[in-house]
Structures are given as structure tokens and as C-alpha cells.
Amino acid sequence: MTIFGIDPGSDRTGYGCVETNGSRLRLVLSGAIVSASLGSFPEKLLKIHTALALLLKDCRPDCVAIENVFHGVNARSALKLGHARGVAVLAAVEAGLPVFEYTPAEIKRAVVGNGRAEKHQVQQMVKLLLELAKLPLPYDAADALAVAICHCHSMLPAGAAAAMTKSATSWRHFRPSR
């Protein structure tokens, strides 16, 4: 199964695609769609939609997992995030793919084991789970991969997700290099 994860944002939208056979995860691709800061908001939305449509066509995933909008401190920022998320969902639906939504806490719980994990903890666990040589960059790409991994874990029978992550060491043992 191939899952395409999306971490929506109006300035930077992260994407990540993973494959799983039920016991192992493999990175297909990841990155971020960066919109020009001087571009108009509609132009940014068009860029996100166009880029995601091309990526979905190239990857041909079985489904799309996307981070759900949660409450925002700033109403204007939450509204912009909602628009970016909307064009991402539109690209997936146009591609004929089912869309699954997860809250930030669900994603962090599935990947790190703690719904209040910090970004570097998510990034480190994504690296371990996908057996990557380096941390996935930028954070938006790591977050999108975490969304895809969350969906992988939600599709597995009870206990299988724990077996899949058994080889990865806990984020608690992670010590950032100084």
C-alpha cells in the first residue's frame, strides 16, 4: 500500500509518500511546496494545488492522509490554513483518491507515542521508522511523512503497529548533536 501524506500550509505545504507491506515502511519521496512570499494568496493556492496534482499523478498512491485543521490562535491564520487544506483535498479528490484526516495529536501519538510531542521528536521518529540516514527536512516534509505513517498504523490490525516500530528506538533516547 502506498500512502501520500500532506501537511498543509499556505506558505509551505509538506508532502511525503511512503509504502508499506504491513511490516515495513519505505520512503518513496518527500519535500515541501514553497510559495513565494510576495505572491498573492490565490496564486499560492494555485501553486499548492498544481504541485500536489502532479505529485499524486507521479506517485499513484492508494490514498491520501492529511492533517486536520485544529483550533487556531489567530483566526486569519486558521482561515488561510483551511484554504490550503481545501486545495490539497481537492487535488486528492480530483485524482480519485480516498482522503483520511488526522488531528495533530493523533499523528504525534501514532508516530512518537505522545500526543504532545515536539517537532524534533516527530522528525527523529520519522527518521527511525523509515530507516533514513538523515533527518527528513524541512519540518513540513517530516510532518507530512508522519501523517502518512499515522495512516499506515491506523490501517494495521491491533498490535501490528507496535511490532513495526519495535526496531526503532524511543525518541526518549534521542540526544540532539551540539
Q: Give the three cell numbers for residue 90.
A: 481537492
Catalytic residue, candidates 43, 94, 140, 143: 140
As a whole number of angstroms, the distance between CA 13 and CA 144 comes to 9
Catalytic residue, candidates 7, 58, 62, 118: 7
State yes or no: is 106 an active-site residue: no
Which 8-state DSSP code applies to residue 13? E
Catalytic residue, candidates 11, 43, 58, 67: 67
- The residue to which cell 499523528 is assigned: 107
Q: Residue 84's closest CA among 3, 5, 12?
A: 12
| Cα separation values, 41 from 44, 78, 115, 151, Å | 5, 14, 31, 30
Which residues are annotated as catalytic? 7, 67, 140
